[in-house]
A and B are shown apart, each in its own frame.
Chain A
Amino acid sequence: MPYDIYDSLTFNIITAQNGDCYDRYLIRINEMKESLKIIEQVVNNMPLGIVHLNDWKLVPPTRDFMRFNMEALIHHFKLYTEGYSLPKNYNYMSVEAPKGEFGIFMVSDDSNRPYRCKIKALGFFHLQALNTMAVNHLIADVVTIIGTQDIVFGEVDR
């Protein structure tokens, strides 16, 4: 599921064969190097011009407009105090994250606040593998395994 401009970028997908902690360390380091490549390509190919949408219904106008334009003032005021009201619906969207697919499932109920918001955080799923990964290892190794899984425990709670 390539999104944004990922299909027009060139980078390598880093893999390894042994599946141990050192491999995961190498993958992490090499992924950082690939990230630098991506950043360089994106920065060099960034189009000129304004960066956000010129539609006051969705993006609040800049402060310059608000000094003389009543519509701009109203839209700015409403978007910052009330926000958007979305009709009843639900949606799941995901973006890439260093550890996989980071997703958010949201339900709207015709108001400006979500009725339900479920965050699919990666750390939780990686932690499930800890049991299998630590078989026949020492307790002390678990520390390294958790470390190379790169888990944020705050996100496991979600």
Chain B
Amino acid sequence: MKKFSINDQSFEIDKDYTILQFLLLISVQVPRFCYHEQLSIAGNCRVCLIEDIKSIKPIIACAINIADGLNVYTQSVKAKKAREAVLEYLLINHPLDCPICDQGGECDLQDLSLVVGGDK
């Protein structure tokens, strides 16, 4: 039995879950690019960063298993800033093609930029 808390809410489970899988179960929104249920975990987009109280750096929710005593925050300032910075890196060399891009309008990168991206 593992006891842990997410956003100050306590949970107990027996099974092995990654943090992101559990967040999906309890309908907590965390952005993601490389995670897919049907694929093996890559953990390279780093946009699902969340804050772990015990670690200095934010952790990726998709590749870290839930352990006993875990204490994470998905919407803290640290987590939000980390995600914003990751997204900025993704966009820094992106061509300015939205108006002529076929994917424009149904693009995950655009959607995430609106939700977690910088506003200035």
A residues with a Cβ closer than 8 A to B are 54-57, 66-68, 70-71, 73-75, 77-78, 81-82
* In the complex, the 4 A-B pairs of residues with the closest C-beta atoms, listed nearest first: A70-B91, A77-B98, A74-B113, A56-B119
Q: Is the CB of B118 within 8 A of A71?
A: yes
A to B CB contacts below 8 Å, 19 in the list: A54-B120, A55-B119, A56-B118, A56-B119, A57-B114, A57-B119, A67-B96, A70-B94, A71-B91, A71-B113, A74-B98, A74-B114, A75-B113, A75-B114, A75-B117, A77-B99, A77-B105, A78-B110, A81-B104
CB-nearest residue of chain B to A79: B114
- Report how far A101 CA is from B104 CA in the complex, Å: 41
Does B92 count as interface, using CB distance less than 8 angstroms? yes
- Report how far A56 CA is from B114 CA in the complex, Å: 9
Which residues does chain A contribute within 8 Å of B91, judged by CB atoms?
Answer: 70-71, 74
- B-side interface residues, number (CB < 8 Å): 18
Interface centre among A54, A74, A81 (most CB of B within 10 A): A74
CB-nearest residue of chain B to A74: B113
Which residues does chain B contribute within 8 Å of A67, judged by CB atoms?
Answer: 96
* B82-120, CB < 8 A from A: 88, 91-92, 94, 96, 98-99, 104-105, 109-111, 113-114, 117-120
Q: Is the CB of B120 within 8 A of A70?
A: no
**Chain A, interface SS category:** helix
- Report how far A55 CA is from B117 CA in the complex, Å: 12
Which residues does chain B contribute within 8 Å of A57, judged by CB atoms?
Answer: 114, 119
Q: Is the CB of B98 within 8 A of A73?
A: yes
- Report how far A155 CA is from B4 CA in the complex, Å: 59
Among B104, B105, B111, B117, the residue within 8 A (CB) of A71 is: B117
Query: Chain B nearest CB: distance from A22 CB in Å?
Result: 55
Which residues does chain A contribute within 8 Å of B119, judged by CB atoms?
Answer: 55-57, 75
Interface centre among A54, A55, A67, A81 (most CB of B within 10 A): A81
Q: Is the CB of A73 within 8 A of B114?
A: no
Q: Is the CB of B117 within 8 A of A74?
A: yes
- Report how far A127 CA is from B114 CA in the complex, Å: 46
